[in-house]
Chains A and B, each alone.
Chain A
Amino acid sequence: MSVEIDTRPIWLLIFLKAVRPLFFLLMGLAFLYAVQMPTPEGLTIGGQRAIAIFFVCLILWVTNVVPLAITSLFAIVLVPLLGVLTQKDTYSLFGNEAVFFILGAFILAGAIMHSGLSNRIALNIMDRFGGSPRKLLLSIFLLAAVLSFFMSEHAVAAMLFPIVLEISKSLGLKPGKSNYGKLMFFALAWGCVIGGVGTFLGGARVPLAIGILKETTGASIEFLDYTIAVFPLVIIMMLVGYMLLTRFFPIDITGVESARQVLAKRLKGLGKMTYSEYCVGAVLGLTILAWIFFGRRFGLATIALSSVVMLFMLRLVRWKDIEEYVNWGIILMYGGAIILGTALDKSGAASWLVNGAIGKWATSPWTVFAIFSLLSIFLTEAMSNAAVIAILLPVSIGMAENLSMDPSIVTYSIAVPAGLAFMFPMSTPANAIAVSSNYITVKDMVKGGFIMCITAWLVFNLVAAYWWPLIGMGYSK
Chain B
Amino acid sequence: MKKNYLNNPGSLKIDLMLRGIRIDDPLVKAWACGTSGVDILLPQNTLVNIPCREEFTKGSPYTIKKRDGNYLITDGAEEVPVSLVPRPEFYNRKTTTGVPFTSIAVVHGSYTVITPSPRCDFFNRSIECKYCAGNFDVKGSSNVTYTVEEVIETVEAVLKEKASEIIYLSIGFSESDDGGISFLKPYLTAIKKHFNCLVAVEALPPKQNHWIDETYAIGADSVLYNLEIFDPELFEIICPGRASLIGRKRYMESLEYAAKIFPNGTVASHLIVGLEPPGSTCMGIDYLTGIGVVPILPIYRPTSSRALRIEPLNAEIILPVYKHLYHAVKKSGVNMNWVRDISMVTTPIEVKTLAGDGASKTTLVENFYKTKIGIKAAWGLSTLRRKLRVKGSKDPSDSKH
Contacts and interface: CB of A to CB of B under 8 A. Distances in A.
Interface of A: 1-7, 10, 13-14, 17
Contact of A7 (B210, B217, B389): B389
Nearest to B387: A17
B217 A5 contact: yes
Given A3-B213, A5-B213, A5-B216, A13 B389 contact: yes
A5 B389 contact: yes
Nearest to A2: B392
Contacts of A17: 388
A5 B390 contact: yes
The 5 A-B pairs with the shortest beta carbon distances in the complex, nearest first, are: A13-B388, A3-B217, A4-B391, A3-B393, A3-B213
Contacts of A6: 388-391
Nearest to B212: A5
A1 B260 CA distance: 21
A5 B261 contact: yes
Contacts of B210: 2-3
A13 B384 CA distance: 11
A17 B391 CA distance: 13
A433 to B, nearest CB: 21
B338 to A, nearest CB: 16
B388 A10 contact: yes
A13 B391 CA distance: 12
Interface string B207-229: 00010011011000000000000
A7 B292 CA distance: 15
Contact of A4 (B260, B388, B392): B392
A240 B319 CA distance: 82
7 contacts: A2-B210, A2-B393, A3-B391, A3-B392, A4-B390, A4-B392, A13-B389
B382 to A, nearest CB: 12
Contacts of A1: 392-394
B385 interface: yes
Contacts, number: 39
Contacts of B260: 7
A3 B388 contact: no
A140 to B, nearest CB: 34
Contacts of A14: 388
Contacts of A4: 213, 390-392
A3 B386 CA distance: 12
Contacts of B261: 5, 7
Given A3-B217, A5-B216, A7-B389, 19 more contacts: A1-B392, A1-B393, A2-B392, A3-B210, A3-B213, A3-B391, A3-B392, A3-B393, A4-B390, A4-B392, A5-B261, A5-B391, A6-B388, A6-B389, A7-B260, A7-B261, A10-B388, A14-B388, A17-B388
A317 to B, nearest CB: 34
B390 A3 contact: yes
Contacts of B390: 3-6
Contacts of B388: 6, 10, 13-14, 17
A1 B218 CA distance: 11
A3, A7, A10, A14 — which one has the most chain B CB atoms within 10 A of its CB?
A3
Nearest to B211: A3
A251 to B, nearest CB: 40
Contacts of A7: 260-261, 389
A14 B389 CA distance: 10
A455 to B, nearest CB: 40
A5 B258 CA distance: 11
A454 to B, nearest CB: 38
Nearest to B216: A5
A220 B159 CA distance: 71
B389 A3 contact: no
Nearest to B263: A10
Interface in B342-400: 385, 388-394
B385 A3 contact: no
A166 to B, nearest CB: 28
A17 B385 CA distance: 12
Contacts of B216: 5
A336 B401 CA distance: 38
Nearest to B261: A5
Nearest to A12: B388
A311 B388 CA distance: 49
A8 to B, nearest CB: 9
Contacts of A13: 388-389
A5 B261 CA distance: 7
A10 to B, nearest CB: 7
Nearest to A17: B388
Interface string B189-219: 0000000000000000000001001101100
